[in-house]
Amino acid sequence: MLHTIQVSDGEGSMVKLLRDQIIIQVGDEIDGIVMIRTGMSDKTISCPAKYVAEVT
């Protein structure tokens, strides 16, 4: 993650994603949104792609 942000989990709760947190991108970017997973749960969360960077 490039910045700390809060995103909806799609079920009415907010999930805080921290700067420098490692997340897993699931699928391709569509309309500026990527689907991600954290290590905290099996839920898939939508996140703006502009806040995500590939780790090399």
pLDDT tens-place string over residues 27-46: 899 999 999 998 877 889 99
Q: What is the predicted pLDDT for the residue at 39?
A: 84
Q: Measured in whole angstroms, how far is the alpha carbon of residue 38 from the centre of its chain?
A: 7
Report the candidate in 24, 21, 16, 14 with the shortest Cα–Cα distance to residue 44: 24
Q: Provide the domain limits for residue 4.
A: 1-55
Q: What is the predicted pLDDT for the residue at 49?
A: 96
Percent with pLDDT over 70 in the chain:
100
Backbone angle region of 9, left / alpha / beta, with phi > 0 → left and psi within -120 to 50 → alpha: alpha
Mean pLDDT of the chain: 92
Tell me the mean pLDDT in the region 9-35.
Answer: 93
pTM: 0.83
Report the candidate in 12, 43, 13, 38 with the shortest Cα–Cα distance to residue 52: 38
Q: Give the chain's domain count.
A: 1
